[in-house]
Amino acid sequence: MSVRLSKIFLGLALLFGIIWVWLRVGGGTSSQSAPVKPVKHFRHVVIIMMENHGTSELMNNPNTPYINHLIAAYGFDPQYRGVTHPSLPNYLATIAGSTQGIWTDNPERQFSGPTIVSQLQDHHLSWEGVMESIPAPTFEGNWYPEPLDQSQASSAPTRALYAKKHNPFVFFNSISRALLRTHIVNLRTFQRQLAQGHLADFVWITPNLCHDMHGEPNTPGSRCPVANNTQLERLGDQFLKKLVPEITHSPMWQGNSVLFITWDEANAPAGLTSVPQYLAGAPGAPKFLGVTIGGGLVPLIVISPQTRHRTIRIDCNHYCLLKTIENGWHLRYLGNAASPQVPTLAPLVPERLFR
């Protein structure tokens, strides 16, 4: 979501806070502890993070037949939610267990503290961040491709495809630039590695702005404008239809490997009645003036060699995703993932037989 739009809709969200409470929709307020079910040790974990589409928009949508095929064929959680709004806090939350207290997409921020990367490094687990249209691992601009004088703009230029705000690894001082140079690749490099039989233990994939359903600005020359939702849905669906089989048909896709496909947050509300769905939260969602500012209902699709169709409702968000990965690899829970109210996604992935 753009910085301008996020401010508008967060302002609306706060304005309708009283209505939100009145409607009694504020997931994530339960004080009950969720049992931490242990999950089986993962061989490979892949996350594909899509953008700005809620569950109700994508289910039974003629523009997204492949996504609906995946929902029908594999694991699916209809109660899964983004952590909050706008985009960047969700990306930070998924790898660090915290939104870092921000409510913006400001690409100039830097944060300290641990992430899942430091945990993977400490436990000798390999990792890779795949950014579809990044020009080089060393690229430090906010957008690409764009003239150099616009690459540091805070708002997306007309034809940008790579967005720094969708690359959570570059926001943490604890991940050195030297480490980023050797662990961030573009999609073509990842696909070549995959064809050659290489797949890191942990892989994060960020599609570009035309393929993640976010879109470019609504300006002349835009290839996939934000306003053309039909086009964005089709492009995202086609992207997944090509990439998912490349991963799942790889010779490396064996044992307890798992692919999580989800969306960062639900789309902006179409009207007052959809505000509660836009703000729907799960355990760990932040609050403002007592109002839960959740990220709304978004799809979570879970694919593994062992998974067949199962739809299981788990009151969950991106903190649960992080906790599930940490649980499978016996890592310490980071930030909100450590909360006893945050469950794992154990019902959707193979569980350990013994603790």
> In which order are the strands placed within the sheet that holds 258-263?
184-185, 127-131, 202-206, 45-50, 258-263, 300-303, 75-76, 310-311
Residue 319's CATH number: 3.40.720.10
Tokens 């301008």: give the residue: 4
User: Which residues lie below 8 Å from residue 296, measured CB to CB, with a gap of 6+?
Assistant: 54, 81, 82, 85, 265, 266, 267, 277, 278, 279, 280
Using the Cα atoms of residue 69, residue 72, residue 76 and residue 80 in order, give the sign of their dihedral: positive
Entry pTM? 0.92
CA 211 to each of CA 50, 116, 206, 215: distance values in angstroms, whole numbers, following the listed order: 8, 25, 9, 8
pLDDT in tens, 85-128: 999 999 999 999 999 999 999 999 999 999 999 999 999 999 99
pLDDT(158) > 50: yes
The answer to the question of residue 342 being in a domain is no
Rg (CA), the chain: 19
Residue-wise pLDDT for 316-330, tens only, equals 999 999 999 999 999
Residues 6+ apart with CB under 8 A from 324: 39, 344, 345, 346, 349
For CA atoms 76, 347, 206, 167, the dihedral sign is positive
Q: Does residue 32 lie within any of the structural domains?
A: no
Assign 2 a pLDDT band (cuts: 50, 70, 90): low
Residue 118 lies in a domain: yes
| Cα 83 from Cα 46, distance rounded (Å) | 19
Domain that holds residue 163: 3-27+41-336
**Tens of pLDDT, residues 165-215:** 999 999 999 999 999 999 999 999 999 999 999 999 999 999 999 999 999
Burial of 199 (0-12, 13-18, 19+ CB in 10 A): buried
Cα-Cα-Cα-Cα torsion 213, 82, 62, 203, nearest 10 degrees, comes to: 60
Number of domains present in the structure of the chain: 1
* CA within 13 Å, CB half, 59: 13
Q: Is 36 a domain residue? A: no
Query: Is the residue at 213 inside a domain?
Result: yes
Which of 56-70, 148-162, 298-312 has the largest mean confidence? 56-70
Question: What pLDDT is recorded for position 21?
Answer: 40
Q: What is the mean pLDDT of the chain?
A: 89
Q: Which carries the bigger pLDDT value, residue 279 or residue 13?
A: 279
Q: Is residue 201 part of a domain?
A: yes
Asked if residue 263 has pLDDT above 70, the reply is: yes
| Residue 79 pLDDT | 97
pLDDT at 11 (0 to 100): 55
Confidence check: pLDDT of 148 > 60: yes
Q: Sign of torsion, CA 106 85 260 187?
A: negative
Task: Give me the pLDDT at residue 156, please.
Answer: 83
Residue 308: its pLDDT value, please?
Answer: 83
- Candidates 95, 142, 91; CA nearest to 263 is 91
Q: Is the pLDDT of residue 22 over 60?
A: no
Classify the phi-psi angles of 310: left when phi > 0, otherwise alpha if psi is within -120 to 50, otherwise beta: beta
Q: Is residue 117 a part of any domain in this protein?
A: yes
Residue 52 within a domain: yes
Residue 25, pLDDT score: 39
Task: Compute CA distances 97 → 209, 323, 334, whole Å.
Answer: 25, 8, 5
